[in-house]
């Protein structure tokens, strides 16, 4: 019987998610190949986090970009929290679009917009451009318009 105590845990006792995932971040059965995981202990300078996340977004791997942005949020200073959370939520919103979950996408894109609107401009992040991107994507999703994969590659920096 598999219990919570049997989960893989880090040195602090927090559970790790070692289950393989596909390119859209969906869990695969244990033992499947999956795509390369973002390390649990990823700790990059902000500029490198943004380049890495952008590369993943450009490859259609928004879930994995979210993991990079989430690591930056968790490792960054408190005054940058809204920025990194907003970026991570934006990537999850795109993930939901990729997975066909329109309602989830709209909700997360709205939360991302709220967070990003609160964030001071830092690290060349194009907050105004991302807010316009999110608003247009929300409008198209709400209207039932098709969204091409090319539209799901927001530019994080300007």
pTM of the model: 0.85
CATH topology of domain 46-152: Hyaluronidase domain-like (1.10.3450)
Q: What is the predicted pLDDT for the residue at 37?
A: 80
Residue 78 token pair = 């408190």
Please check the confidence at residue 55 and state whether its pLDDT lies above 90: yes
Q: In Å, what is the CA distance from 72 to each residue of 1, 78, 97, 121, 142?
A: 36, 11, 23, 16, 30
Q: What is the predicted pLDDT for the residue at 5?
A: 46
Which residue ranges make up each domain of the chain? 46-152
| Overall average pLDDT of the 120-134 stretch | 97
27 has which bridge partners? 21
């Amino acid at each position: 019987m598999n219990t919570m105590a049997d989960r893989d845990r880090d040195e602090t006792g927090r559970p790790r998610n070692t289950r393989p995932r596909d390119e859209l971040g969906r869990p695969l059965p244990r033992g499947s190949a999956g795509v390369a995981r973002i390390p649990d202990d990823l700790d990059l300078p902000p500029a490198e986090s943004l380049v890495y996340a952008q590369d993943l977004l450009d490859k259609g791997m928004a879930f994995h970009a979210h993991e990079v942005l989430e690591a930056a949020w968790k490792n960054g200073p408190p005054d940058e929290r809204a920025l990194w959370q907003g970026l991570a939520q934006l990537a999850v919103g795109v993930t939901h679009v990729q997975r066909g979950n329109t309602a989830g996408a709209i909700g997360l894109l709205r939360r991302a917009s709220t967070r990003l609107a609160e964030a001071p401009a830092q690290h060349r992040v194009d907050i105004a451009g991302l807010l316009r991107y999110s608003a247009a994507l929300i409008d198209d999703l709400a209207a039932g318009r098709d969204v091409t994969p090319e539209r799901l590659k927001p530019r994080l920096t300007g």
